[in-house]
Amino acid sequence: MVVDWQTLGEETAARVAPAWLKVDQLVLANTARVLAAFRECRVAEFHFHGSTGYGYGDEGRRTLEAVFARIFEAERALVHPSIVSGTHALAVALLGLLTPGDELLSPFGAPYDTMEGIIGEQGGPPGSLASLGVSYRQVDPRPDGNPDWPAIEGAVNARTSVVLLQRSGGYSDRPPLNLASLGELIGALRRHKSQLIFVVDNCYGEFVETAEPLVVGADLVAGSLIKNPGGGLAPTGGYVAGRADLVERVAARLTAPGLGGAVGPYPPGWRLHFQGLFQAPHAVGEALKGAVFAAGMAQSLGLVSRPVWDAPRTDIIQALDLGRPELVRAFCRGLQGASPVDAHVVPEPGSLAGYGGPVIMAAGTFVQGASLELTCDAPFRPPYTVYLQGGLSSAHVRLAVREALEAVCELI
Ligand SMILES: *Cc1c(COP(=O)(O)O)cnc(C)c1O
């Protein structure tokens, strides 16, 4: 397929300009929210110092948690460098809240791939919810993408105690759950059974709308600091935020009962966590502009984009249906080749802990695996969809997406 890439790039930028303007408004609103939290919590230079040993009395960590709590409108937040990923944050949340005999309900399809190991099945893996006697029930969305209300109400029983809702669509073709839809699901289920605890997997969702899921009734949110709220600068970590009593239970699971969130040393210091959080609305805005541009350009080439470029968004993921394994490989190689780090590396599908089948990924990032930096992943299986996310600079996303799509168009 022969394409005039220069013209296509310019035309795409002109066409998506109205969507970029909306992103600018979002960034302004969220930056105001973050700035207000920093001021109210009186963030000061000495909060950037690290701590050693137990990490008792670490004012940096305590203040970072206070800032998170304000931004997320949470009673309490746990922000820890020893939470290594989003999966880990969700694992400690679920393992901290569910007790033997309880049932976990996922009312809107399968959760993210890496949750499979946490949920487990009869016989393993060791330490999974299943191995502790916690059962799991799932209701899939209807084919039209809406919740299957009768099935959801039928799935709630005396043992159902925690409901897991995932804001982003993950590696599936189900639509993401925006705040309005989350609120509707939570409200309806709570009317059905008032004691339910709602946990939202907030990965990739932070700062994509002007509020976070606790505002629409969630009890706890969890996510990764090498995604949106780290702003591309936090070197590691994860967070859990929400009702104070629930955060306390999760903290006890993360460290030890009785110690909870009182400990947690971080010798390098917290400057990058604070700076990253402050930059996060802007960085998420750059990623969103990149996603909008990628969708616009892909649509011009006749590819199916989910969401389409001008649709409202609640996460930063841009899915592009390529349909054939060699096109997925070409896209990932093109994107990797346009990365600032490891551009010479050639991605191959391979297995990765927590993911069922082979996956191919492009990630030329400064922080290992950080996916608020420009990355793409694709489960190497039909329908051969690539999931593109991140980009700390929308200019970089434009350049890299063009190269990735060029590699694809050489084959079609
Ligand atoms: C990234 C992600 C996770 C967790 O992934 P990690 O790689 O462990 O951080 C969980 N759920 C969703 C929706 C995600 O996007």
At 178-200, the pLDDT tens digits run: 999 999 999 999 999 999 999 99
CA 225 to chain centre: 9
Which DSSP helix (H) or strand (E) runs through 61? helix 59-72
Q: Is 85 in the pocket of ligand 1 (CB under 6 A)?
A: yes
Q: What is the structure's pLDDT at 172?
A: 84
Q: What is the 254 CA–ligand 1 centroid distance (Å)?
A: 18
Q: Is 93 in the pocket of ligand 1 (CB under 6 A)?
A: no
Which ligand 1 atom minimizes the distance to the CA of 169? 13
Q: Does residue 82 surpass a pLDDT of 90?
A: yes
Q: What is the structure's pLDDT at 355?
A: 78
Rounded Cα distance between 124 and 288, Å, is 39
pLDDT, average across residues 308-322: 97
Q: What is the pLDDT of residues 265-276, one digit of tens each?
A: 999 999 999 999
Q: Does residue 104 surpass a pLDDT of 90?
A: yes
Whole-angstrom CA distances from 373 to 52, 68, 232, 393 are 29, 21, 6, 9
Which ligand 1 atom minimizes the distance to the CA of 201? 11
Q: What is the structure's pLDDT at 225?
A: 98
Whole-angstrom CA distances from 351 to 29, 107, 114, 333 are 40, 28, 12, 17
CB 21, CB 319: distance < 8 Å:
no
Q: What is the structure's pLDDT at 125?
A: 87
Q: Does residue 288 surpass a pLDDT of 80?
A: yes
Residue with the two structure tokens 């006890």: 252
**CA nearest 71: which of 205, 177, 178, 206?**
206
* Percent residues over pLDDT 90 in the chain: 96
Please list, residue by residue across 84-119, b when 16 or more beta carbons sit within 10 angstroms of its beta carbon and e when fewer do. ebbbbbbbbbbbbbbeeebbbbbbbbbbbbbbbbbb
pLDDT, average across residues 236-265: 98
Q: Is 171 in the pocket of ligand 1 (CB under 6 A)?
A: no
Q: What is the pTM of this model?
A: 0.97
Q: Is 314 in the pocket of ligand 1 (CB under 6 A)?
A: no
Going by pLDDT thresholds of 50, 70 and 90, the confidence category of residue 173 is confident
Q: Is 305 in the pocket of ligand 1 (CB under 6 A)?
A: no
Q: Does residue 287 surpass a pLDDT of 80?
A: yes
Q: Is 318 in the pocket of ligand 1 (CB under 6 A)?
A: no
Which ligand 1 atom minimizes the distance to the CA of 166? 13
Which ligand 1 atom minimizes the distance to the CA of 87? 8
Q: What is the structure's pLDDT at 353?
A: 79
Q: Is 117 in the pocket of ligand 1 (CB under 6 A)?
A: no
Going by pLDDT thresholds of 50, 70 and 90, the confidence category of residue 356 is confident
Q: What is the structure's pLDDT at 128?
A: 96
Which ligand 1 atom minimizes the distance to the CA of 317? 15
Which DSSP helix (H) or strand (E) runs through 294? helix 271-300
Stretch among 114-128, 150-164, 389-403 having the lowest mean pLDDT: 114-128
Testing ligand 1's pocket by substitution, the residue of 84, 88, 112, 389 carrying the most ligand atoms inside 8 A of its CB is 112
Which ligand 1 atom minimizes the distance to the CA of 238? 9
Residue nearest to atom 12 of ligand 1 (CA): 203
> Average pLDDT over the chain, rounded to whole?
97
